[in-house]
Structure 1
Amino acid sequence: MVSIRTAAPALLLILAGCVSGPDHKPPEMPLPAKFSEGGTKVNGDIAGSQWWTAFGDSRLNAFAAQGLAQNLNIQQSLEAINQAEAAVVTAGAGGLPSLTVSGDHTTSGQKGSLRTQTETQNSTGGTASVSWLLDLWGQYRRAREGANASLDAAYSSVDIARLTYLQDLATSYVNARYYQALVAIAQENLKSRRDTLSLTKFQLEAGAASRLDVVQAEGLVNSTLSTIPGFEISYRQAVHHIATLLNVPSSTIIAQMQGGGKQPVFRGSVRTGVPADLIRNRPDIRRAERQLAAATAEIGVAEAKLLPSITLSGAISPSYIHTSARSGGLTSWSFGPSLNLPIFDGGALRAGVKSAESASREQYIVWQQTVRSAIEDVENNLSAVTRDAQTVAALHAQVKSYQEALQLSTASYKDGASSLLDVLDAQRNVTAAQQSLAQAVQTSANDYILLNVNIGAGYVPAGKTTVAEAPAKIVKVSAKKAN
């Protein structure tokens, strides 16, 4: 027959291996084998891809590297990692023994004219208390598991902050160069329109033009002058935002951007991979998966609270008393287990389990939605990038045609074969075409930026996170089902 003294430790070891609640499993969902306008080639790890270097702009390259080390949003998210690391320690601390030590010393006595005065007495004592809640059902193991998942999510949040920074910086830089281009276009056209005004005034003196022609030419000059301040304001705003992203004074960036510069132009293609690549490369999807893991662990924590708990506790309190007549010490101690058995709590603990289960299901839905939104983002940007070049090429041709038309109409006006209105219309057409071309180049660059961001490229990982090896199944969706 096995004695209780022998069986008890074995039983505790068996119970110590129990963990309440479900284990987290990598979420799965059917995904198409390819993007609608993409290929079937799988992408590798593209987190370190410096896609912004494709613009061939050394200033942008320098800004990108500078901001990754100085951006305040990134620094703020890094602090969240420190907090999450501390939370891991806190979560597991409840399942470990705790020891508290205290000490005291008192001096007491009575003095006065009465004969009953008491001699001085010195008392010194101390207490050492130890307590250990046996984690029989894995409550604190689940809590630590959830805290580790939240730590992984914090690392992914840093990656998201870096990706957001790169998108914001590159877009702001493209926009700043765009407004610089608009200012240059306006100044170039202003010169042309002033030349036309001078020609019209000369022809007025020669009797070949009317006062109306002069007024109309002056109006177009003033119209051009009125647009420049607005472009300069927008340019300054973009530069100020770059300074904020880099955490430096605006004057520093203004000095570096002076003299203008060509609009960033991307020529080439982007390897988008397949939808399943997003689950590995997109930090927001990884964060959603880790948040799901943390929510799943909370189910185990809630279920463990429904079960009995055993706490081993003990204390030892030595003391020493000294007077002029006597002295001596006394030590008291205690040790024993205590059992906590939840019987009736008004349903609060079971409601906690239901709440944790619902939170886990919610996080699974969030993960699904994050994946679906990521696929939509890539599909949209891929469609744009593949067509932007056609728009830019057509507008280049349009600008060239309108510039030739302006030359012809100006020559014809000088010869008296056409009216001033033909020249003014041609100048308006040139300006509109040049501005449309600059906008198309800006749109093309921004679409390229968004496509790279949406496939999860270039953020330089903050640290290694726990990612499922096969978090989603690749399922080829037929055209019939897709419709």
Structure 2
Amino acid sequence: MNRAAFALLLAATAGLAACTTAGPDYRPPEHSAATAGAATGAFAGAGERGFTQAPLPDRWWRLYDDPVLDGLIEQALAANADLREADANLRRATAVVREAAAGRTISTTLSGAADLARPSGTGRGLPGNVGYDIGLSASYPLDLQGKIARAIEAAQGDAEAVQAARDAVRVSVAAATARAYVGVCAANYGLGVNRQVVALQAKTLDATRRLRRGGRGTAFDVSRAQTAVNESEATLPGFEADRQAQLFLLATLMGRPPADYPREVAGCARLPAVRQPIPIGDGASLIRRRPDIRAAERSLAADTARIGVAVADLYPQISLGGSLGLAGPLSGFGTGTSFGFSLGPLISWSFPNRPVVKARIAEAEAGVEARIAGFDAAVLEALRQTETALNAYARDRDRMEALDKARESAALSETQANKLFLFGRTGFFDLLDAQRSLAMAESASAAARVQLALDQVDIFLSLGGGWEREP
């Protein structure tokens, strides 16, 4: 290359260096669901009893003030198989970022070859000429259009989306562990309530047998009392099965085989519950906190950067390169005639394929539009889940209070019916009906308390907390 051509290339390189980075710079969507006033303000259910707009703490499960639950969740976050998989995915995504960043460094190639050549006119028994070719080349990308920079930006966005997905797994694992623990305690709680019903009905059965022996009852009365006891006893194995299933689930969440479930939890009979108003924050804090929203936003940022990667292919890709080499017959190795070198800018440009590049740009732009819609969908779904969880808790709380009153009335009716029966003022059918009503009221009240405990966990799950600090 003569000096004039080399100077022309340097001037072109300097001119291209003044160009801006290809593609649009990322900015969060200005007109999206996340910026609407109704989305960032107080929740519609924030005024219900049992809630406060105080910020959600990092480790919401500590609001239960239950050391056993704290220990279970800490163990699950340390050993859960899904979380380990998410950690590995994050490490892989981080490695992709490093790979993209390595595109900015100098690349080198070392080559070497040897050959044996024999002219066709020489005799067969004569050896040929041994030659060699040794070279070292290096190139440094100038990245004048920012293709590499946009690729790094895209890889970083993808990695941050993967990290958000990993945080979402932490949220799910913590909530699932809390639900399983509540399930164990709820099964034992329900078992205790129904055993009390069985004990009450067994007392009636004993009284009926005594009355029959005294001539005041019939065999039909005894058989009906026995049927009531048997029906109530039939509910007990179901609670035991539910308890064992939740224990197996706890073991799985903690990264253990089901048979290695935590024995210390099996006897839990007190329903875990937050005894204070539940801190829920507002819509703006929810949008900032929810990992699925953050994952959607980071994916949008990554796809915006990919537009720049595609746009950069419309322009020449320039790098500075150089090479050193030795080549020639082995007999002349190391002589001045065997040495050569080159230095200058290298240009690569797929100019004839512009329709292909423009199609890729259109694909990337459409992908960004899809990501914007997905981001809005994630925000709206998060708000819907939270509002639904808050409303369900408020209504289930009202239902529990009504069922508690019904249970108190049923208990009073059973006591009155029992006294009237013992004094011969009412029939045995009335007593059985009162006891059946009491059993149903006790079961319904217990189920309502269990549902309320599960509703609390659902609220924390919808709020998306628990990933902010490592255990």
Give the drift of 1:431: 2.0
In 2, Cα distance between equivalents of 1:26 and 1:43: 27
Indicate if the aligned counterparts of 1:163 and 1:458 stay in contact, CA closer than 8 A.
yes
Residue 37 of structure 2 corresponds to residue 22 of structure 1: no
- Distance across 1 between alignment mates of 2:340 and 2:289: 62
- Establish whether residue 156 from structure 1 lines up as the match of residue 157 from structure 2: no
> Does the alignment pair 1:276 with 2:278?
no
Residue equivalent to 2:73: 64
Give distance in 1, aligned partners of 2:431 and 2:135.
100
Report the Cα offset of residue 6 of structure 1. Answer: 6.5
Asked if the contact 2:138/2:321 (under 8 Å) is kept, the reply is: yes
Structure 2 unpaired stretches of 5+: none
Residue 55 of structure 1 pairs with residue 64 of structure 2 = yes
Q: Which residue pairs with 1:385 in the alignment?
A: 393
1:215-294 superposed matches below 5 A:
215-294=223-302
Counterpart Cα distance in 2 of 1:242 and 1:64: 10
Partner SS state of residue 278, structure 2: coil
What secondary structure sits across from 1:279 in the alignment? helix
Deviations 1:336-380 (A, max 9, x none): 544333343383221111110011011111111111111222222
CA offsets 1:166-209 (integer angstroms, 9 cap, x no match):
11111121122112212222222222222222222222222222
Seen in structure 2, the aligned counterparts of structure 1 residues 219 and 41 have a Cα distance that, compared at 3 Å, is closer
Cα displacement string for residues 66-96 of structure 1 (whole angstroms, at most 9, x for unaligned residues): 1111111111111111111111122233344
Kept after mapping to 2: 8 A contact 1:381/1:450 = yes
Structure 2 counterpart SS, 1:347: helix
Deviation at 1:41, TM superposition (A): 9.2
**Contact 2:247 2:266 survives alignment (8 Å):** no
Match of 1:369 among 359, 374, 377: 377
SS of the counterpart of 1:345?
A: helix
* Length-normalised TM-score, structure 1: 0.84
Once residues 414 and 123 of structure 1 are traced to their aligned partners in structure 2, the CA distance between those partners, rounded to angstroms, is 119
Whether the 8 Å CA contact 2:117–2:128 is kept in 1: the answer is yes
Residue correspondence of structure 1 range 330-409 to structure 2 within 5 A: 330-345=338-353, 347-409=355-417
Q: Of Structure 1 and Structure 2, which has the larger fraction of its residues in helix?
A: 2
Equivalent AA in structure 2 for residue 19 of structure 1: T
Between the aligned partners of 1:37 and 1:259, the Cα distance in structure 2 is 35
CA deviations 1:43-72 (Å, max 9, x no partner) are 65x4x5322223232211211111111111
**Deviations 1:258-309 (CA, angstroms, capped at 9, x unpaired):** 3332111233222322212222111111111111100100111111112222
Please list the CA deviations of residues 128-174 of structure 1 after superposition, one character each: whole Å capped at 9, or x if unmatched.
23234432211111110111111211221121111111111111211
Read off the aligned partner of 2:276 and give its amino acid letter: G
Cα distance 1:349–1:221, how it changes in 2: closer, same or farther (>3 A)? same
Q: Helix, strand or coil for the counterpart of 2:401?
A: helix
Query: Normalized against structure 2, the TM-score is what?
Result: 0.86
| Structure 1 runs not aligned, ≥5 long | 110-114, 464-483
Contact 2:134 2:326 in 1 (8 A): yes
C-alpha separation in 2, matches of 1:10 and 1:208: 118
Q: Do residues 298 (structure 1) and 298 (structure 2) align? A: no
SS at match of 2:235: helix
Corresponding residue number in structure 1 for 2:97: 88
Q: Which amino acid aligns with 1:90?
A: E
CA RMSD, aligned part only? 3.0
Helix, strand or coil at the partner of 1:102: strand
Contact kept, 8 Å, 1:150 with 1:290, in 2: the verdict is: yes
In structure 2, which of residues 439, 449, 469 is the aligned counterpart of residue 441 of structure 1?
Answer: 449
* Residues 168, 464 of structure 2: 8 Å contact kept: no
Residues in 2 aligned to 1:418 and 1:14: alpha-carbon distance in whole angstroms: 106
Query: In structure 2, which of residues 181, 192, 198 is the aligned counterpart of residue 184 of structure 1?
Result: 192
* 1:209 has 2:210 as partner: no
Alpha-carbon distance, 1:246 to partner: 0.7
In the aligned structure 2, how far is the partner of 1:344 from the partner of 1:101?
32
Residue of structure 2 equivalent to 1:428:
436
Residues 234-273 of structure 1: CA deviation (Å, up to 9, x unaligned): 2211111111101124344351123332111233222322
Change in 2 beyond 3 A, CA 1:10/1:345? closer
* One-letter amino acid of the structure 1 residue matched with residue 81 of structure 2: L
User: In structure 2, what is the Cα distance between the partners aligned to 1:393 and 1:70?
Assistant: 39
Distance in structure 1 (CA, Å) of the matches to 2:158 and 2:124: 68
What residue in structure 2 maps to residue 76 of structure 1? 85
Deviates more, 1:386-395 or 1:192-201: 386-395
Q: Across the two proteins, how many residue pairs are aligned to each other?
A: 453
Kindly, what percent of the aligned residue pairs are identical? Answer: 28
The residue aligned with 1:478 is: none
